[in-house]
Amino acid sequence: MADKPRIAVHKFSSCDGCQLAFLNLGESLLALAEMVDIVHFAEAGPVAPDAPVDIAFVEGSISTPDEQSRIRRVRTNSRFVITIGACATSGGLQALRNHADSARWMARVYASPEHIRSLDTATAIADHVPVDFELWGCPVSARQIVATVRALLFGVPPVPEADKVCLDCKRSLAVCVLVARGEPCLGPVTRTGCGALCPRFGRDCYGCYGPADLPNTDALSGRFAGLGLLPEEVARRYRFIHSAQPALDAAAARALDGHGEDGP
């Protein structure tokens, strides 16, 4: 990596929330700007989308024909490509349309759908080009971004966080909302990174950081059924933020088929 690595932050189909995680770095962003050359970050100022860089952070899913060709240019121009957030890493919320008739949805949402040029699906960046590292979360946190940039500046691979949210719950002495209150918490199958943010404030995790390593979704589906959730409600839990992520999509399909640990 160059003495002062060149960095780009690219936006694809997304809400900009993960770019805001960069801006929320505050003073750390100023310190970062001393250590790296931020050559493209349209939301913050510099615009040079086709400039060669050492690290390209990519927010958003691939949802339009233009984005299909643009992500290939980003890959060609970048030494490392790092996805930030749910949309870039799994397709995100907009991938809900992968399970529906997108043309019908467009006709209902837009007054003149003939002007819309979008694909029938919203897909992850890794479905289109090789990705070097993924940061999950909806949105990602400033802490994750700093840790990743720091690792790359030191010349070591960033450390993936794939433990379950439950472990962070225990570490922070949060009361388990699943056990204590019977809330359908997705923490047992969700990767950590947020510090068990929701349970620490007394609400159930809805899985915004994506699947943890080895998620035992059948056991959790059985537990949710025991709480009184219908199969459709269990499936909807898995297909909320990361509906196109294969493990969660399959878990939803199995829940609809009645396969939980207490099911057939």
We find the least distance from the C-beta atom of residue 126 to ligand SF4, in angstroms, to be 20
For ligand SF4, the closer CB: 67 or 168: 168
We find the least distance from the C-beta atom of residue 101 to ligand SF4, in angstroms, to be 29
We find the least distance from the C-beta atom of residue 62 to ligand SF4, in angstroms, to be 23
Instruction: Quote the tokens at residue 195.
Output: 């510090």
For ligand SF4, the closer CB: 58 or 166: 166
For ligand SF4, the closer CB: 7 or 229: 229
For ligand SF4, the closer CB: 205 or 235: 205
- Looking at beta carbons, which residue is closest to ligand SF4? 187
User: Given the rule CB under 6 A, which residues bind ligand SF4?
Assistant: 165-166, 169, 174, 176-178, 185, 187-188, 190, 194, 196-199, 205-209
We find the least distance from the C-beta atom of residue 148 to ligand SF4, in angstroms, to be 18
